[in-house]
Amino acid sequence: MSDRFRLTLAQLNPTVGDLAGNAAKARAAFEVARAAGADMLVLPEMFITGYQVQDLVLKPAFVADAMAHIVDLSRACADGPAIGIGGPLAEDGALYNAFYVLQGGEISAVVRKHELPNTQVFDELRHFDQGPISGPYSINGVRIGTPICEDAWHEDVAEALEESGAQILVVPNGSPYYRQKFERRLNAMVSRVIETGLPLVYLNMVGGQDDQVFDGGSFVLNPGGVLAMQMQIFDEDIEHVDFEQGPDGWHALRGVLKTFPDEWEQDYRVMVEALRDYLRKCGFKKVLLGLSGGVDSAIVATIAVDALGAENVRCVMMPSEYTSQTSLDDAVAVANALGCHLDTISIAAGRAAITETLAPVFAGLPPDLTEENIQSRLRGLLLMALSNKFGEMLLTTGNKSEVAVGYATIYGDMAGGYNPIKDLYKMRVFETCRWRNANHRDWMRGPKGVVIPPEVIEKPPTAELRDNQKDEDSLPPYEILDGILERLIDKDQSVAEVVAAGFDRATVKRVEHLIYISEYKRYQAAPGPRTSGKAFWLDRRYPIVNQWRDDD
């Protein structure tokens, strides 16, 4: 056995269901690994299918097709390094999240995932059977232990591998982003290294899938928990890590050590990458959105331009008699700063026609929220017509504060295919605008400098559906509302705990009521990128019909 071992880590972006495309990515990475003289190429968890596959993996034909692609890959890559690749395994009436080891044209070993996560966005107990704790497999005389993703968060799996002779731990992952997730991953893996005394390789995938973004950031730890290599965050990357065997076992030689941006940049990058990948993987090239002159639509337009380029973003201003000249001017300023196309379509004629149509039925009734929502729904109708005509995906622009309390019109401003700011509370929207004005990165396709005029950020938020309307006419000030929402939703605190934090009980109860009665709207809302770890959809699943209230 040699005292040197080279591992190639392929931090790549698969597409769910694109078996041939994912296999092609694996083959391209194999050629890189072979040219570098690697002993083994490692690809992420469930790479051949993409991740997460959800109930698609319950379709036997899909699983059979995925397994056939792995067999084909093993035969096509017979001459060169071993390959480790994630994929489903149907075996003896069971279905496993598995990691295949390919050597010499054959599948030489299969590891079955033991710990199946069933929290937050994961439903693996629904989809997979629990595998046994597998022993290590041998690559050119080196014994490799592979805890698959969640397995590495449980000390018993890593310890069992160490006790059965593993010399290096290789952990393939499909681990999606939320704020401060990397620190949690690193701390957990350091614990495994300290407990086992073995070096550990943590390989994550990158790319967007529906509401989740896999952020990469793969790394290698030496015994003692010392960081030997740190790969780029968010970007596809292939790196080689060399291990040497000494008197105390194997250790990795120092490799690249990339640094990470702060959480504001990470969140913004997630929103850009999520939109970019969602469109690319769904087959769209262009988007449109309603640009109101407000802060929410301004940041969505900016994210879209940074993701796709200004030439692929259409903005539409749809004024009514309640639209201020300031809003008109601000919409023009944002579109000009970003360099994207702006259409202006008045809703006055359409509103008059609908008012006339409904007049016999509404006779004798005073105007109320109904008439306000007609305006929003007219805008949704017009935007969807443009989307159909030009083949551009419609983006929605509601922030998490509005989504949480139902301050949005279903079939109106909620209409659309994707919402880049769905998981950003309003106060974070303001700060994100300021961050983007002050920062520009190479991965942004939009212009440098101030792209959202300060007056757009500073003016009082308003839906402009009636004279002199302000959001605070209907809601608590956003700094108060967001503080309550973060506690009730993100932290699952009780009313008593929120009140103890200094908030007025009547206001807390009102917000709690709005959250619960708005559940039906969220079931029909567009998807959007998860940044908080408690996003609406898979992170938080509440019944629509719910009569319980916290009366503490």
Contact (CB, 8 A) for 470 and 403: no
Cis peptide before 469 (omega within 30 of 0): no
Known catalytic residue: 282? no
Tokens of 284: 């769209």
* Closest by Cα among 91, 92, 89 to 100: 89
Choose, from 25, 45, 150, 402, the residue flagged as catalytic. 45
HSE on the CB side for 529, CA within 13 Å? 30
Pick the catalytic residue from 25, 77, 115, 149: 149
CA distance to 262, 286, 321, 325, 381, per residue, from 345 (Å): 40, 19, 13, 15, 12
Q: Which two tokens stand for residue 547?
A: 């009569």
Amino acid at residue number 464: E
Residue type, 234: F
* Helix residue ranges, H only, 94-213: 124-127, 155-163, 181-196
Measured between alpha carbons, how far is residue 157 from residues 95, 99, 127, 152 in Å? 20, 15, 21, 7
- 201 Cβ contact list (under 8 Å, min separation 6): 7, 9, 42, 168, 169, 170, 171, 218, 220, 241, 252
* Residue whose entry in the numeric block shows the structure tokens 């559940």: 519
Instruction: Return the ∠ at Cα 536 (arms to 530 and 537), rounded to 5°.
Output: 95
Active site residue 149: yes
Q: What is the DSSP string of 391-421?
A: T-EEBP---HHHHHHT-S-TTTTT-SSB-TT
Using CA atoms in the order 415, 421, 423, 424, what is the torsion angle rounded to 10 degrees? -130
- Record the tokens describing residue 353, joined without a space: 């026609």
Q: Are 167 and 146 in contact (CB under 8 A)?
A: no
Active-site position among 113, 281, 422, 426: 113
- Measure the CA–CA gap between 72 and 187, rounded to whole angstroms: 38
Helix 478-485 with 426-438: angle, nearest 10 deg: 110
Rounded to 10 deg, the angle between the 325-338 and 295-308 helix axes is 20
Which residues have a catalytic role annotated? 45, 113, 149
